[in-house]
Amino acid sequence: MSNSYYFTIIGTKDNPLYELEFSSFKNIPTTLPSNYIPGKSQFSQSTKELLPFIANSSLDIIEDLQFSTNLLNLGKIDQFYGLNINGYITQGSIKFIICYDSTKDESNSIKQFFQEINELYSKVLLNPFYNVNDAIISPDFDLKVKQLARKYL
Amino acid sequence: MKVYSILILNKAGGLIYQNEISSGLNKLSANDYLVLAGTLHGVHAIGSKLSQSISTTNNLKNTEELNSIQNSNILSFGKALNPNNNKSGLQSIETDFFNLYNFQTVSGLKFIIITSPNDNFENFETSNEIFRKLYILYSDYVMKDPFYSLDMPIKSILFDKNVKELFR
Amino acid sequence: MSDDSIIIPSTTTNSLSKLTINDYSKTGFGYNPSIGTQSNSINNIETSNLLISKKQIILSTSTIPIYEKLHLISKKSPIEEITLSSLLYLFSEIIQWQFKNSKNINDLEARLNGLGYKLGIKLIEMIKLKDGYKLLKRDTKILEILQFIHGPFWKFIFGKQADELEMSQNNNDEYMIIDNLPILNKYISIPKDYGDLNCCAFVAGIIEGSLDVSGFNCNVTAHTSTTDQHPLRTVYLIKFHSNVLYRENIRN
C-alpha cells in the first residue's frame, strides 16, 4: 500500500485556496490489480474528515516560524497520530501544507515539490482574473499540481 | 538665427501656447496674439487652397487629404514616409525685420516660430530642426500629461522648462 | 459577437470563482471550493493513466496555458522591456480614469494607491522567487525587506535601483525610499491648484501592498521633494504599524 498525501494551500487570512488528496505514484505494480487506481488517496473516511483540521491546526506553528526563520521551506513541523505534516511559506504569507501517512521522513522530495508549487503559484498570480486569496479553480493548475505530485512523490 | 517667439495653434486656429524666448519683438497684448494666431491659421488655410492649382505634380486637394495619406502610410508601413508633410499652405514669411516659419503636424496642430531675419538659405533647414525638437517635446510633455485636455492652453511647467532649455 | 470571441478564463464554468456544489468539472481536473477535495481527487483509472503517461497534456483548447510556458525562475528569461511611451500613455489614461471618479485630490491619491496595492501583493511573490530562488530565503526583518524593495524589486519594475534608503531621524517607525527621477512622473506636470498631488501614489501602493502581504503592515505615501538637480525627486514615506516594531524587538 502506497502513502497517501493531503496537500493544501492556505491564504494570508488562513483561508483555504486549494486542496488535493492523492497517493504516491511510486512502486506501481506492472500488472494493475482490478479496482486499483494509481494515485487514488487511501486515507480512511474518518481521517479524510479530519485532514483539513489537522492542516489548519499547524497554522499556529507556521505563524510562529514565519518570523523566527527566514527559510521558505519549513520542513517537518508537526505530527498527528502517524501523520507527518510538512510546511512551506512564501514571501507573500501563502502557506503550503502537506499531511502524509508515511513512516519515513520524506522532507527532501516534499521540499522539491513545494518549490515547484511556489513557481506555479506565482504564475497563478499572473492571471488578471485572479485575486490574492481567491480559491484556485483553474483546471490547468490542478493538472500541473497532479503532474508534479506524480514526479516527486 | 535667433528665435524670438514660439506659438502653438490647435487645429481650430486657437492659440494654445505662446512663449517669448528672447527679446527683440514688441510685446503684443494677449488679445493681439489671439488675432495673430487666427490670421495665420486663416492665411495657411487659404494658402493650401491656392497651392492646389500651383502644384500640379501631385494631384492632392488640400492638407487634409495629405494628412490622411500620411496617416495611411503610418498604418501600412509603420512609419511616416516624410515627416514634413508641410507641403502646402503658408510655410514662411520673410521680411527685413523678422522671419516667420510655420509647421503643421498630421493632426492639424501648428507650430510657428518667429526668428531674426537672415539671408542665409539654411534658415529653412534650421527651422525644420527646431520644429522637430518642439514636436518631440510636445508629444512627450503635453500629450503624456494626464492633466492636459486636448486643444486647451498648455500650462505644463515641464514643457515650459524644456522649451526654454531647447533655446539656451 | 460570436461565442468564441469572448475571452473565457480557464475555469470550469463561465462564472468567475463562483462555483457551486452543482458544478462538476468535465475534464476531471479543477478544484471546486464548494465541494472540497471530492471535486478533484483522482477517482478513476483514466485520470491516473493520464498522469502516469508522460505526455504533455493541454486542457485549454485555444492557447497554451501560462503554467506550461514561462520559466519565471530560470536564468535565461531576461526582464522584458517595453517602450516608455506606451507605458506612460497607459499610466496617463489610468490617472484620467481615476480622476474622473474621484471626489478630490486625496481621493485620487487613495485610488491610485489602491490600484498599486493590488499589483504589489502579486509582484512581491514573483520578484522574490526570481531573485532569491537559489537562496530559498524570505525576508523577515524590516531592514532586509526594505533593502530588497530598494534593490532587486525596484530594478525589476523600473530597471534601476532606487536612489536612497533612509531611516527617519525623528521616528524609528518611519523609513524613506527616495527616487530622484520617478519614471512614471517623467512627463507629468501637476497643475498649481492640485496641491501636493504626486501620481507616484501608485508606486507607493505597490510598496505598501508588497510590505503588507509579507507581514509588515504599514502605510506608504509619496511626497514630492524638489531639489535643484532633481525637480521630480519623490520620497516614499513608509510608516510601519506599532505591532511590526514590537515583533521585531521580541524576535531580536
pLDDT in tens, chain C (252 residues): 344 444 433 333 344 556 777 777 777 788 887 777 888 787 777 777 777 776 666 666 666 666 666 566 555 556 667 888 999 999 999 999 999 999 889 999 999 999 999 999 998 988 888 776 666 788 888 998 999 999 889 988 888 889 999 998 888 889 999 999 999 988 998 888 888 889 999 999 999 999 999 989 999 999 998 888 888 899 999 999 999 999 888 887
- With CA atoms as reference, the chain C residue closest to A117 would be C67
**CA-closest candidate to residue A142, choices C22, C25, C16:** C25
Q: How far is CA B150 from CA B134, B139, B147, in A?
A: 17, 12, 10
- Residue C74 domain-assigned? no
First to last CA, chain C: 61
Residue A89 has pLDDT above 70, yes or no: yes
Domains of chain B: 3-166 (3.30.450.70)
Angle between helix A139-152 and helix A107-125 axes, rounded to 10 deg: 160
Comparing CB atoms, the residue among C91, C187, C194 nearest residue B158 is C187
The reply to whether C55 and C145 lie within a common domain is: no
pLDDT of residue A10: 92
The reply to whether C48 and C95 lie within a common domain is: no
CA C176 to CA C116: how far, in whole Å? Answer: 18
CB proximity B155 to C under 8 Å: yes
- With CA atoms as reference, the chain C residue closest to B157 would be C189
* Interface with C, mutate which of B147, B163, B165 (most C CBs under 10 A): B147
CA B76 to chain centre: 26
- Residue C107 domain-assigned? yes
- With CA atoms as reference, the chain C residue closest to A128 would be C9
Residue at a domain's end among C69, C93, C126: C69
Compute the nearest-CA separation of C175 from chain A (Å): 20
CB proximity A64 to C under 8 Å: no
Q: How far is CA C8 from CA A131, C3, C61, in A?
A: 16, 10, 11
More confident residue, C99 or B125: C99
Q: Which domain holds residue C94?
A: 84-251
The reply to whether C206 and C174 lie within a common domain is: yes
Which chain C residues are within 8 Å of A131, Cβ to Cβ?
A: 118
Compute the nearest-CA separation of B152 from chain C (Å): 14
Q: How far is CA C151 from CA B100, C131, C180, C230, in A?
A: 51, 10, 15, 20
- With CA atoms as reference, the chain C residue closest to B142 would be C187
Residue that the C-alpha cell 464548494 belongs to = C34
- Residue C75 domain-assigned? no
> What's the number of domains chain C is made of?
2
Q: Which cell is C20 given?
A: 457551486
The reply to whether C45 and C108 lie within a common domain is: no
Comparing CB atoms, the residue among C29, C128, C213 nearest residue A143 is C29
CA B156 to CA C82: how far, in whole Å? Answer: 26
In sequence order, the 6+-apart residues with CB closer than 8 A to the CB of B126 are B1
- Residue C120 domain-assigned? yes
How do residues B139-150 score in pLDDT, each as one tens digit? 999 999 999 988
ipTM of the complex: 0.85
- Say which CATH number the domain at C112 has: 3.30.1380.20
CA A120 to chain centre: 13
pLDDT of residue C147: 92
What is the architecture, at CATH level 2, of domain A4-152? 2-Layer Sandwich (3.30)
**CA-closest candidate to residue C88, choices C183, C179, C162:** C183
C9-48 residues touching A, CB cutoff 8 A: 9-12, 16-17, 19, 25, 27, 29-33, 36-37, 40-45, 47-48
